[in-house]
Structure 1
Amino acid sequence: MFKGHPKGLYVAFFANMGERFGYYTMLSIFTLYLQAKFGWTAKEAGQVYGGFLFGIYFLPLLGGLIADNWWGYGKTIVIGTIIMFSGYAMLAIPGQSKYFIFGALAIISLGTGFFKGNLQALVGNMYDDPKYDKVRDSAFNIFYMGINIGAFFAPSAATGISNLILKKQGLIYSSEAIDLANKFKAGIITAAEQLRLDQIGHQQLGSAFQSISAFAQKYIEGLSASYNAGFAIASLSMIISLLIFIGFRKHYIQADVTHKQQKKAHAENLVVLSREETKQRLIALGLVFLVVMFFWMAFHQNGFTLTIFAKNYTVSAVNRSTAVFFNLQTLFPLLIAIVGFIMMFGKETRLRARIIWFFITAGGVLLTYLISRSYTPDGNPISPQIFQQFNPLFIVFLTPVIIGYFGWLQKRGKEPSSPRKIGIGMILAAVGFFIMVMASRGLQSPSALQGGVSPVLRSPYWLISTYFTLTIAELFLSPIGISFVSKVAPPQFKGLMQGGWFAATAIGTLLAGLIGAFWDKWELWQFFLLLVVLCLLSAIFIFTIIKKLERIVKSK
């Protein structure tokens, strides 16, 4: 899996992992921070969140344009990382106004725009060398895995630092406490709610409790400061990412060249396309971007309607064996055991290494078992947002499987082209949402529940199965799509076209919110069936133009 790649790939892998760790650390607590500090409703915080995400995914167009024409990829990436650090550092400063926060978000979005697409363009340049071109798709799978390793650990890091800061102030996180504290501050608290806030204050502070007013203020400030500490972690990760990228520059410096720079230097390997060839490639990329929009529209239901399904239609407490998958204390050693088991039976693993991996596997299993004994046989609580961990987890563990599968097909001359992989990914996405169609049978509609919890609840394994299938779809489509862009993009537009990929993602994110309007109007199964149909139509579309896309790839 990791053999036969230039060392520059691993520099990009770790630089990207550091940046994504910081981003997802910030993102996992951002809406909670807005609600805690300003007392905003979910809708108000969601509007800011949505605008920020759009900027994150749309501004790579600007970053690509600047890199292609003026700064080059490496310089733009470095400047972007410094800008991101500044934005996260601003968020880490306690006691700032909402306008200061908006400014920080704009700075982070701009820095990300300079960073994301251009790092991918840089990776693509490494594989323009004919000796690496055959492993281009697997390279982007590896690169993509780095994103999700960072994403997997980020929520736990944010939660850990937040709880640590709260603990030092004698406080414990409570969604009820922050809601009541903000109501008290706004003067809209009822007598019963005020009594409840008084009880929470005494429970948390004990003899140190002075008054409801003092506790409400302390809790708002304390929780907000704990989130500021999470943002500080994000800013530190930018420094690590920058040091990796600059410190190991020698491994990618040959790929850090734009078409304009090659042309100016009269490079021998300069690729010049005719106007018609350029036009055909841009049309092909535009068609792929159109399909990608619909994929992300469907996929980003994971943070929207699928999370609501987890909250209102899925059991909130599970038995001991299922709880293992929802707690990092047991999940992490279990994952180590799985890795150890796989490595133990590797073809190239020597006897001494097999023995070591055996003990690692046994230790992971034993630790998982011992920790799980502290769980109750039944009634272990799970939160709706915890389902978000399964996608990056599956990405990390399924990437080697997918790469191995494609490699096995390649040796037999049967590996599908990049456009076909994208089409297969859309079909798999349809399968994922069909699982939700089946899970929704017999359940009341959201409008009938009026925001309440369904009297009939589903097993969490319905959602886990959906996330598993959608992850496979993502691995067929997203890293392969990025690889396709790096292959097909006209040399003078490499950075811009990687930005176009993210712009398509931004539009898909907006469409995810728009289509979500049907959630409150339709039956559950009808809503998920709509997603199935849209994914299948997108798959049919790309297979109708597959010959055109494959012809352009072969002419590369």
Structure 2
Amino acid sequence: MGTDAATDPVPTSHPVGFRFFFWGEFAERCSYYGMRAILALYMTEKLGVDKADAGTFMSLFIAACYFFPLVGGYVADNFLGKYWTIVLFSVPYVAAQFLVGIEDKYVVFGALVLLAMGSGVIKPNISTLMGMTYEQQRPGQEQLLTSAFSWFYMAINFGAGISQLAMPWLRTNYSYQVAFLFPAGLMALALMLFAAGKRYYAKETIERKVVTDGPPPEDTTTITGIPVRYKAVTQAEKDADRALKIQVLSRIGLVFLLVMFFWAIFDQSASTWIFFADTYMENILFGVPVTADQIQAFNAWFIVLLVPASVFLFKSLDQAGLKVKATQKMAVGFLFTGLAMAIMSLAGFMAGAKQDAVKITTPEGAVVVPVAKTPLKDVKAGTAEFGPVKVTAADWAYDEGKKRLTFASGTVRLADGKELLVTGGHLVAEEFPDAAGWERGGVLEPLLKSGEDRAKAGTEPTKATAEVIDWVKPAERVTVWWQVLAYLIITVAEILISVTGLELAFVAAPQSMKSFVTGCWLAVVFLANLLINAPITRLYPVMAPGVYFAMLAGAMVVVVVVFIPVAMAFNRGMAAQANTAPRRIGEAETEAV
């Protein structure tokens, strides 16, 4: 005899669609963070962008990535639905990942617009669609949904951590072009994985509110076949909704405004932190050389380790009767952000001063020599003197856009008379000097690959390049462990501010405004990079790094001082709301989130 479906028990396992959400998000985040990991140095090393402009461009790119979620939410909620919005905007996202490897500023910047659009539009829709899938297929299973979002969050950080290690390695051992194929392939895989799970996802409908005193229009469908249902609201209801939004924003607006300063500092890990490590730090961990842009992977791996620990810590404190308010967590997070900047500042003051030098690069590696007596743009056919090192070539060519010299064939004569040949853009020698030989020859720092890796460079014709760089004497560089420590501290701050702040905002908002608050939260990151980082990062190249990071540390001290009365006012407002409004599930423990 059949059983009424309504009385069937709800399954307690994850729905099949979760697998597609998890692996699709893993591949997409791996793609995004991998591309972003090497983008700053790609701009400075291959496109000829100076550090001030590169910092600004990185900030504008990240800002755009957090602006387009607002567009993505609107398009999905009003026209295409979440599934088709994700699929359709993923296509230019995939194409852009292939285009970004083309060494042309206009192509790259155009690709970055498409990347920001694709990443941003996808961001709010995939997590919301996953939540809808659980609501429809696992109703009432709140703990299961919490578990799903925890794994979803881990997918993001696992993807980021892996790609932030892999991309610099691919770039160093092969090329930027080869490295950018990795996220392009991952994004294509993410699209296929997500699209393959369509039948396992939630059934979507779109609700549109219309102001009318009569019946609403008849239901229709979108161009993607999603049912559209109209709901009639009065002008009074619309006005009340607007008033409620203003009330919520007035309560959480100052909190969000101060969180903006955290994101401004945190997101500089993609620009100024990399520039600092590249110039001022000895990038060796456990005896293994690493690149300046691999260090950012520590953030993702620290998140994976520390989030479960933080959940256990605050749950244990709560059970012991020691309730920690959300605003208290955030205040400590702001202090930790300032501490991270103080650590970076200390490292900056400990490091030696930078000086201009010239880096001559071939597929076999590079050598750093003193600056030329003649500006690079004025070097013509013949010999260019880089301190005691003389480079002779008949085919010197200066690339104004990339601000570097190129030549295919010539000789490099060291101060001790030893000559190295450059043939077809490759550095050739029967035997390369040892460390003492390079020093006698007037080379500031040899950066050649190992013999095995030089053999892999091949003989395909290319161009050797010479460009001016910031250089610090190896003996005056500080250990990269300073930056690892700063990452540990700022990751703790991220957990205390980002995770806590978003949950706090959800508690402060009524059920009907959860999506609106999420949009406001994303807008905070957008504004942090647009209004703060885009102009502030331009100061990094003209300030001593110790002073620059000390300035950021000082800014966080001011934020903490301002946050204290803001937090007190917020808590008073929430307490008043709790006393005058009915308790709602999820809003009872406002101050102990």
| Fold shared per TM-score above 0.5 | yes
Indicate the residue corresponding to 2:533 in structure 1.
Answer: 512
Match runs of 1:63-74 below 5 Å: 63-74=72-83
Report the TM-score, using the length of structure 1 for normalisation.
0.64
Indicate the residue corresponding to 2:309 in structure 1.
Answer: 401
Distance in 2 between residues matched to 1:315 and 1:418, nearest whole Å = 39
The answer as to 2:186 corresponding to 1:237 is yes
Distance in 2 between residues matched to 1:10 and 1:421, nearest whole Å = 33
Distance in 1 between residues matched to 2:188 and 2:323, nearest whole Å = 40
The answer as to 2:565 corresponding to 1:545 is no
1:533 CA displacement: 0.9
1:508 CA displacement: 1.5
Distance in 2 between residues matched to 1:90 and 1:486, nearest whole Å = 39
Distance in 2 between residues matched to 1:136 and 1:486, nearest whole Å = 16
AA at the equivalent of 1:29: I
Distance in 1 between residues matched to 2:251 and 2:260, nearest whole Å = 15
Distance in 2 between residues matched to 1:494 and 1:17, nearest whole Å = 25
Q: Are 2:73 and 2:125, in contact at CA under 8 Å, matched by a contact in 1?
A: yes
Indicate the residue corresponding to 1:502 in structure 2.
Answer: 522
AA at the equivalent of 1:115: I
The answer as to 2:560 corresponding to 1:536 is yes
Q: Are 1:60 and 1:500, in contact at CA under 8 Å, matched by a contact in 2?
A: no
1:18 CA displacement: 1.4
Q: Are 1:64 and 1:498, in contact at CA under 8 Å, matched by a contact in 2?
A: no
1:298 CA displacement: 1.9
Distance in 2 between residues matched to 1:402 and 1:545, nearest whole Å = 26
AA at the equivalent of 2:264: M
AA at the equivalent of 1:264: R
Deviates more, 1:515-524 or 1:501-510: 515-524
Distance in 1 between residues matched to 2:97 and 2:114, nearest whole Å = 9
> Which secondary structure does the structure 1 equivalent of 2:254 belong to?
helix
- Please list every run of 5 or more consecutive structure 1 residues that lacks an aligned counterpart in the other structure: 167-222, 328-380
> Which secondary structure does the structure 1 equivalent of 2:293 belong to?
helix
Q: Deviations over 1:139-174 (max 9, x none)?
A: 65543332221111113433454466x4xxxxxxxx
Q: Identify if the C-alpha distance between structure 1 residues 317 and 228 changes in structure 2 by more than 3 Å, giving closer, same or farther.
A: closer
Deviates more, 1:149-158 or 1:475-484: 475-484
Distance in 2 between residues matched to 1:143 and 1:545, nearest whole Å = 34
> Which secondary structure does the structure 2 equivalent of 1:387 belong to?
coil
Residue from 24, 28, 31 that aligns with 1:15: 24
1:252 CA displacement: 4.7
Q: Are 1:22 and 1:234, in contact at CA under 8 Å, matched by a contact in 2?
A: yes
The answer as to 2:37 corresponding to 1:28 is yes
CA RMSD of aligned residues (A): 4.3
Deviates more, 1:34-43 or 1:471-480: 34-43
By percentage of residues, which structure has more helix?
Answer: 1
Q: Identify if the C-alpha distance between structure 1 residues 274 and 401 changes in structure 2 by more than 3 Å, giving closer, same or farther.
A: same
1:317 CA displacement: 4.9
1:295 CA displacement: 0.7
The answer as to 2:480 corresponding to 1:460 is yes
Distance in 2 between residues matched to 1:429 and 1:468, nearest whole Å = 10
- Please list every run of 5 or more consecutive structure 2 residues that lacks an aligned counterpart in the other structure: 1-10, 210-226, 356-468, 588-593
Indicate the residue corresponding to 2:277 in structure 1.
Answer: 310
Residue from 229, 232, 242 that aligns with 1:264: 229
Indicate the residue corresponding to 1:111 in structure 2.
Answer: 118
Deviates more, 1:389-398 or 1:70-79: 70-79
Q: Are 1:63 and 1:496, in contact at CA under 8 Å, matched by a contact in 2?
A: no
Indicate the residue corresponding to 1:390 in structure 2.
Answer: 298
Deviates more, 1:465-474 or 1:298-307: 298-307
Q: Deviations over 1:339-378 (max 9, x none)?
A: xxxxxxxxxxxxxxxxxxxxxxxxxxxxxxxxxxxxxxxx
1:25 CA displacement: 2.1
Distance in 2 between residues matched to 1:124 and 1:484, nearest whole Å = 19
Q: Deviations over 1:62-99 (max 9, x none)?
A: 1122223333333322222233123223336x57x543
Q: Are 1:84 and 1:112, in contact at CA under 8 Å, matched by a contact in 2?
A: yes
Distance in 1 between residues matched to 2:108 and 2:163, nearest whole Å = 21
Distance in 2 between residues matched to 1:402 and 1:138, nearest whole Å = 16
Indicate the residue corresponding to 2:195 in structure 1.
Answer: 246
Q: Identify if the C-alpha distance between structure 1 residues 383 and 103 changes in structure 2 by more than 3 Å, giving closer, same or farther.
A: closer
Q: Are 2:326 and 2:500, in contact at CA under 8 Å, matched by a contact in 1?
A: yes
1:245 CA displacement: 2.8
AA at the equivalent of 1:512: N
Q: Identify if the C-alpha distance between structure 1 residues 287 and 242 changes in structure 2 by more than 3 Å, giving closer, same or farther.
A: farther
Distance in 2 between residues matched to 1:130 and 1:414, nearest whole Å = 33
The answer as to 2:71 corresponding to 1:62 is yes
Q: Identify if the C-alpha distance between structure 1 residues 539 and 313 changes in structure 2 by more than 3 Å, giving closer, same or farther.
A: farther
Residue from 296, 304, 312 that aligns with 2:263: 296
AA at the equivalent of 1:279: I
Distance in 2 between residues matched to 1:543 and 1:406, nearest whole Å = 19
Distance in 2 between residues matched to 1:98 and 1:312, nearest whole Å = 24
> Which secondary structure does the structure 2 equivalent of 1:422 belong to?
helix
1:258 CA displacement: 5.8
1:548 CA displacement: 5.3
Q: Identify if the C-alpha distance between structure 1 residues 453 and 481 changes in structure 2 by more than 3 Å, giving closer, same or farther.
A: same
Distance in 1 between residues matched to 2:561 and 2:144, nearest whole Å = 30
Distance in 1 between residues matched to 2:345 and 2:45, nearest whole Å = 36
> Which secondary structure does the structure 1 equivalent of 2:296 belong to?
helix
Q: Are 2:22 and 2:155, in contact at CA under 8 Å, matched by a contact in 1?
A: yes
AA at the equivalent of 2:497: L
The answer as to 2:494 corresponding to 1:474 is yes
Q: Are 1:60 and 1:499, in contact at CA under 8 Å, matched by a contact in 2?
A: yes
Indicate the residue corresponding to 2:359 in structure 1.
Answer: none
AA at the equivalent of 2:292: P
Residue from 101, 108, 123 that aligns with 1:101: 108
1:547 CA displacement: 1.4
> Which secondary structure does the structure 1 equivalent of 2:472 belong to?
coil
1:125 CA displacement: 5.3
1:534 CA displacement: 3.8
1:22 CA displacement: 0.8
Distance in 1 between residues matched to 2:276 and 2:228, nearest whole Å = 54
**For this pair of structures, how many residues does the alignment match?**
429
Indicate the residue corresponding to 1:426 in structure 2.
Answer: 334
AA at the equivalent of 1:150: G
Q: Are 1:20 and 1:150, in contact at CA under 8 Å, matched by a contact in 2?
A: yes
Distance in 1 between residues matched to 2:325 and 2:500, nearest whole Å = 10
> Which secondary structure does the structure 2 equivalent of 1:384 belong to?
coil
Indicate the residue corresponding to 1:186 in structure 2.
Answer: none
Q: Identify if the C-alpha distance between structure 1 residues 156 and 459 changes in structure 2 by more than 3 Å, giving closer, same or farther.
A: closer
Deviates more, 1:426-435 or 1:40-49: 40-49
AA at the equivalent of 1:71: L
Structure showing greater relative contact order (alpha-carbon pairs closer than 8 Å, 6 or more residues apart): 1
Report the TM-score, using the length of structure 2 for normalisation.
0.60
Indicate the residue corresponding to 2:365 in structure 1.
Answer: none
Residue from 119, 141, 158 that aligns with 1:149: 158
The answer as to 2:223 corresponding to 1:280 is no
> Which secondary structure does the structure 2 equivalent of 1:264 belong to?
strand
Q: Identify if the C-alpha distance between structure 1 residues 235 and 489 changes in structure 2 by more than 3 Å, giving closer, same or farther.
A: farther
Q: Identify if the C-alpha distance between structure 1 residues 286 and 140 changes in structure 2 by more than 3 Å, giving closer, same or farther.
A: farther
Indicate the residue corresponding to 2:92 in structure 1.
Answer: 83
1:433 CA displacement: 3.0
Indicate the residue corresponding to 1:199 in structure 2.
Answer: none
Q: Are 2:207 and 2:230, in contact at CA under 8 Å, matched by a contact in 1?
A: no
Distance in 2 between residues matched to 1:512 and 1:4, nearest whole Å = 45
Match runs of 1:319-468 below 5 Å: 322-323=286-287, 327=288, 381-409=289-317, 411=319, 416=324, 418-436=326-344, 439=347, 453=472, 457-468=477-488
By percentage of residues, which structure has more strand?
Answer: 2
Indicate the residue corresponding to 2:397 in structure 1.
Answer: none
Residue from 153, 158, 177 that aligns with 1:228: 177
Deviates more, 1:528-537 or 1:309-318: 309-318
Distance in 2 between residues matched to 1:243 and 1:289, nearest whole Å = 36
